[in-house]
Structure 1
Amino acid sequence: MSEKEANCSVSSDMLLEAMDAVTDGVVIVDPDSKIVYLNDAYTHILDVKREKALFHRMADIEPDAVILETLRDHKPRLHRFVEVKTRGKKIMVNITPIFKKGNFFGAISVFKDITEVTRVQQELAQVQRLSHSIFNAISTDKQSLPTEFSHIIGEDPAFIRCLKMAEIVAPTEATVLIEGESGVGKEVFVQAIRTLSGKRVQNFISINCSAIPESLIESELFGYAPGAFTGASRSGKAGKFEMANGGTIFLDEIGEMPLFMQAKLLRVLQSGEIQKIGSDRVHKVDVRVIAATNRNLKEMVSAGTFREDLYFRLNTFKIAIPPLRKRPRDILLLADYFLKKFSDKYHKKLSLSTSAAAALQQSSWLGNVRQLESCIEYAVIISRGNIVLLEDLPEDLQQSAVKQRGQFEIRSEVPMVSMDKTQTEDFILPEPISLKDGIRQIEREHMRQALEITKGNKTRAMELLGISRRTFYKKYKLYGFSCKTYTK
């Protein structure tokens, strides 16, 4: 035996041992669907004897196998959720066509057993539903929330207390100040209060104080008389307070209101009187005020940027909504709600993987519920299978999850294996290469095919490959694609 043949034998043995050592199932079929290789994990996961599968046609063993689709159209199937009904197994599969010098030689499937994970997820969902039912049952006493609040998602005790406070103050005429970070859902509380506010449900006016230029805010709130200034309407203009007469006005981002307007607002709250620009007449209005802010008004008072007398007038009844990071039990409840919402919107049927759910619970959610909603919509759009994976979440959440665990979650790579033209019933190994070079060849070929399928569209290619933008560009440069060395 020559030195070259001996090295080839050693490399072949190492490759076989490596593929048998992995916990993911691996199977290779030729263009006629005949199984030419399968590893030990394949036999264990699917509980099948090697001699019952090896050199038999996949089309006969499993007629609905996804790998048969790849044999027909020569296209990869990535992150596909598959139920092997004959074995009662649920697997996550990656299938890649095998080419050598442009010729098609079959396909390779690498799959992970997720049967137990799926069962645990189903049990978790049942527990969550049961917990929700118990919560509703407990809340059937005098302290139960009204049906008007039933659409508001949250079971955290501090959050429930806020809802109880909203229920208590809603039927009154009291001014309400709602504090909370941006994105916690202050508008949801405003609408909840409005639905229980009796006569105040009508003539509801909402205005964002931070969105109106300082020069226009007085005319927006109080209106102006005919001919009050150059360019003014001849008939004058009604302000938001006049339009809300008999109802409720919601002043969002009250902390952004200019100081000169704070004095005028205080007059409305104390006397119920407004005065239009350019008019010497005072008008009475009957308006209930609900204000909201994401700023610390008490600190603003100390800094001289918010009037102390207005602060105390607004602070008649305050509801401080806790940020999402202090409501850990609500994160997955909200995530499940948004997942269903956006799955319906984009015509998908998705569930959260355990790794994705863990990442969501570990995040600090500086953008609160609004950020979570955007995150889930992004994941639904990105997801290519039936399960939202960690890699489907925005990259900053992935990095945060990795930092929390102190290690990266490793996804199974989908190897590419070339078959020799002189293929027989025995599995013919590729030419000997180092394991490191083999992995690089596999990755490079995988990227080349993704870029070919997407016609060079990098964004679509990285979605197809299921890797982050950072990883994609790192390998894109490493394998020379930046130099346009790949061809269609």
Structure 2
Amino acid sequence: MTETLKSMIDHSPIGMVLFNDKGEVLCYNRSALTLLSMDEPLLKIEQFSDRIKNAFHEVLKQDQLAFRTGAIRFHFKHFYENDRKQTLLSISHDPEFMELEKIIHGSFDEILVTDQTGTITKISSRCKELYGVDAEELIGKNTIELEEKGIFKPSLTPKVLEKKEKVSCIQVTCTGKKLYVIGNPIFDDEGNLYRIVFNSREVSEIEALENRLHETEALLDQYKRELKHLKQIVLDKKEIVYKSNSMKQVYELAKKVAQVDSTVLIVGETGVGKGMMARYIHEQSSRKQHKIIEVNCGAIPDNLIESELFGYEGGAFTGAQKQGKKGVIELAEGGTLFLDEIGELPLHVQVKLLQFLQDKTFRRVGGGDLVQVDTRIIAATNQDLTKLVKEKKFREDFYYRLNVIPISIPPLRHRKEDIPVLADYLLERLNAKYDLNKKIDGEVYQTLLQYSWPGNVRELENLMERLFVTSEGKSITVSDLPEHLIEPKHSSTGLLVKNIYPLKQAVEEVEKQLISMAYETYKNTYKCAEVLEVNQSTIVRKMKKYSFLAGGKNHGNH
């Protein structure tokens, strides 16, 4: 049994040395020699290091004592055997010590660990940079004593001991560093304070991190704004939506036309989407990398339309810029010029534009030199140009030069299968823009299909926005629709004749009342023409006839 016990102790990974009270070695095992890195027989305490010798003498005055040197743990404990005092030294290797040391010394923050009295047990190598003192010199020192010596101040230990919770402060070191320090108490299983862990970081580093954080947040805000802007661009960009075969044929033709530079004339009622068709042709063409410029010929006074289109030389007329000005034809170089309401173009300007369509050259107002540009012309009108030609209000040669490839867009009432898909698309865009989820009640579609839509797609677009804003709840119902949209099942003019009048007089009276009512409502002859489904020039002429206007051409303000 004695040999077995001796063999077990000798092969134990824990080194053991037994001393008597005089410091003489009574016995030891092989692991003790290995862990102590000694190769001579162990006879007495004087053979050991000063740290071990001092600990041996100290333990004689108390029950036990432990300390560590690197990864080696030493534990002294004395006891009595047959009334003789003996001391056992246990030596063990801590396999986790090096991992813990690497973690502490590899930390970006400075880490300092004390026992429950504030005595330093561990400290990372950053202490040299912060305090100007090596780690070995600080191990075993009390933090309050170091404060008194001016190594750092104030010490956070008293606050942690008092509050027994995590505390922080700004600390200044003897090297002039300013630190942000956090002290965190560690408790044992019985709830007693066991260790205090301090994390320190230079305030300048924290300020730099805060600045980078603010920069990142500002950059993030910028990206959010740009993303919102891009999202809005996508929402604002109208897609081509249709279901009818008639519109399918129109867009197939437009796609073919886009591949060549021929002049295109788009005809159709107000609001059918002539501008959208012009943009589609431009985007499908080889000119899409350049700009498309849109001009409403009916919105520009006669005396300005020529200079707006062709530009002018400096000093060409009173009020002209000294350096002159390019017209929209030049500004659209390489791209497309869309001339809406081409029927409103004055005759003398038609002549000049005809020349440009024939040889791509023109003269600026007040200029003598020919200017040559590569600009494609797309024109549009809601008027009957052939009728204007017969009335000598539109040049025949200009009409045939414009009408190389005509594209006629049917009104919405002639392609009613497009109404539901357009309504759904318009509502979807509004839902995406305002982050809502409104829907259209089934009965609403039937009402929309029965309506005549004099304002075409534009009227439907305005209606959907109105319903989106004014409807309550998540569904748009028939009760939300405006009264004028709910037409009676049996057609009626809404007129009541009580007396017999000459037919001509009756027609004129109705005509007069309708124009008066429309003008009182819209205050604009273009809008009056739109709702009454006639040309704007007709409205102006009738208003002169019935003494609503004193004279002169109307441009939308009368």
TM-score by length of 1: 0.51
> Is the 1:206–1:249 contact (alpha carbons within 8 Å) kept by the matching residues of 2?
yes
> Is the 2:336–2:375 contact (alpha carbons within 8 Å) kept by the matching residues of 1?
yes
Tell me, in whole angstroms, the C-alpha distance in 1 between the residues paired with 2:260 and 2:297: 24
CA distance 1:275–1:357, change in 2 (3 Å): same
* SS of 2:380 mapped into structure 1: strand
Q: 2:391 aligns with which of 300, 303, 314?
A: 303
Aligned to 2:270: 182
Q: 2:424 aligns with which of 302, 313, 336?
A: 336
Aligned counterparts, 1:22-101, within 5 A: none
Determine if the alignment matches structure 1 residue 258 to structure 2 residue 346.
yes
Aligned to 1:80: none
Aligned to 2:4: none
Determine if the alignment matches structure 1 residue 385 to structure 2 residue 465.
no
Aligned counterparts, 1:159-174, within 5 A: 159-174=247-262
Aligned to 1:238: 326
> Is the 1:210–1:257 contact (alpha carbons within 8 Å) kept by the matching residues of 2?
yes
Report percent identity of matched pairs.
45
Aligned counterparts, 1:200-239, within 5 A: 201-239=289-327
Tell me, in whole angstroms, the C-alpha distance in 2 between the residues paired with 1:314 and 1:355: 44
Tell me, in whole angstroms, the C-alpha distance in 1 between the residues paired with 2:399 and 2:384: 11
> What whole-Å deviation, never above 9, does each CA across 1:231-258 have from its counterpart, x for those lacking one?
2111111111111122211111101111
Aligned to 1:376: 464
Aligned to 2:405: 317
Which residue identity lines up with residue 277 of structure 1 in the other structure? V
Tell me, in whole angstroms, the C-alpha distance in 2 between the residues paired with 1:396 and 1:347: 30
> Is the 1:201–1:248 contact (alpha carbons within 8 Å) kept by the matching residues of 2?
no
Q: Structure 2: which 5+ residue stretches go unaligned?
A: 1-236, 493-558
> What whole-Å deviation, never above 9, does each CA across 1:238-284 have from its counterpart, x for those lacking one?
11111112221111110111111111111110121111111111111
> What whole-Å deviation, never above 9, does each CA across 1:380-408 have from its counterpart, x for those lacking one?
1111122211121122102x1x44599xx
> Is the 2:297–2:341 contact (alpha carbons within 8 Å) kept by the matching residues of 1?
yes
> What whole-Å deviation, never above 9, does each CA across 1:409-433 have from its counterpart, x for those lacking one?
xxxxxxxxxxxxxxxxxxxxxxxxx
> What is the count of residue pairs matched by the alignment?
256
Aligned to 2:373: 285
> Is the 1:346–1:381 contact (alpha carbons within 8 Å) kept by the matching residues of 2?
no
Tell me, in whole angstroms, the C-alpha distance in 1 between the residues paired with 2:480 and 2:428: 16
> Is the 1:378–1:394 contact (alpha carbons within 8 Å) kept by the matching residues of 2?
no
Aligned counterparts, 1:402-441, within 5 A: 402-403=488-489
Offset of residue 306 of structure 1:
0.8
Offset of residue 374 of structure 1:
0.8
Offset of residue 355 of structure 1:
2.1
Tell me, in whole angstroms, the C-alpha distance in 1 between the residues paired with 2:239 and 2:468: 22
Offset of residue 363 of structure 1:
0.5
> What whole-Å deviation, never above 9, does each CA across 1:158-183 have from its counterpart, x for those lacking one?
11110000000101010001111111
> Is the 2:314–2:320 contact (alpha carbons within 8 Å) kept by the matching residues of 1?
yes
Offset of residue 199 of structure 1:
3.3
Offset of residue 230 of structure 1:
2.1
Tell me, in whole angstroms, the C-alpha distance in 2 between the residues paired with 1:405 and 1:270: 50
Stretch of structure 1 that moved more, 328-337 or 386-395: 386-395
> Is the 2:279–2:292 contact (alpha carbons within 8 Å) kept by the matching residues of 1?
no
* SS of 1:226 mapped into structure 2: coil
> Is the 1:178–1:318 contact (alpha carbons within 8 Å) kept by the matching residues of 2?
yes
Tell me, in whole angstroms, the C-alpha distance in 2 between the residues paired with 1:238 and 1:405: 53
Aligned to 1:131: none
Tell me, in whole angstroms, the C-alpha distance in 1 between the residues paired with 2:327 and 2:392: 28
Which residue identity lines up with residue 324 of structure 1 in the other structure? L
Comparing both chains, which one has the higher relative contact order based on Cα–Cα distances under 8 Å and sequence gaps of 6 or more?
1
Aligned to 2:279: 191
> Is the 1:178–1:291 contact (alpha carbons within 8 Å) kept by the matching residues of 2?
yes
Tell me, in whole angstroms, the C-alpha distance in 2 between the residues paired with 1:223 and 1:308: 25
Which residue identity lines up with residue 243 of structure 2 in the other structure? E
Who wins on radius of gyration, i.e. which is larger? 2
Offset of residue 304 of structure 1:
1.3
CA distance 1:344–1:272, change in 2 (3 Å): same
Q: Structure 1: which 5+ residue stretches go unaligned?
A: 1-148, 407-488
> What whole-Å deviation, never above 9, does each CA across 1:307-343 have from its counterpart, x for those lacking one?
1101100110010000000111100000111122223
Higher strand share: 2
> What whole-Å deviation, never above 9, does each CA across 1:273-306 have from its counterpart, x for those lacking one?
1111111111112111000111111111111111
* SS of 1:199 mapped into structure 2: coil
Tell me, in whole angstroms, the C-alpha distance in 2 between the residues paired with 1:193 and 1:167: 6
CA RMSD of aligned residues (A): 1.9
> Is the 2:287–2:336 contact (alpha carbons within 8 Å) kept by the matching residues of 1?
no
* SS of 1:378 mapped into structure 2: helix
Tell me, in whole angstroms, the C-alpha distance in 2 between the residues paired with 1:346 and 1:287: 39
Aligned counterparts, 1:354-369, within 5 A: 354-369=442-457
> Is the 2:363–2:369 contact (alpha carbons within 8 Å) kept by the matching residues of 1?
yes
> What whole-Å deviation, never above 9, does each CA across 1:101-128 have from its counterpart, x for those lacking one?
xxxxxxxxxxxxxxxxxxxxxxxxxxxx
Which residue identity lines up with residue 220 of structure 1 in the other structure? E
> Is the 1:378–1:393 contact (alpha carbons within 8 Å) kept by the matching residues of 2?
no
Aligned to 2:336: 248
Which residue identity lines up with residue 301 of structure 2 in the other structure? P
Tell me, in whole angstroms, the C-alpha distance in 2 between the residues paired with 1:162 and 1:201: 24
Stretch of structure 1 that moved more, 321-330 or 199-208: 199-208
> Is the 1:362–1:404 contact (alpha carbons within 8 Å) kept by the matching residues of 2?
no
Offset of residue 150 of structure 1:
10
* SS of 2:303 mapped into structure 1: coil
Stretch of structure 1 that moved more, 262-271 or 194-203: 194-203
Tell me, in whole angstroms, the C-alpha distance in 1 between the residues paired with 2:491 and 2:400: 46
Offset of residue 365 of structure 1:
0.4
> Is the 1:174–1:288 contact (alpha carbons within 8 Å) kept by the matching residues of 2?
yes
Offset of residue 200 of structure 1:
5.4
Determine if the alignment matches structure 1 residue 268 to structure 2 residue 356.
yes
Aligned to 1:14: none
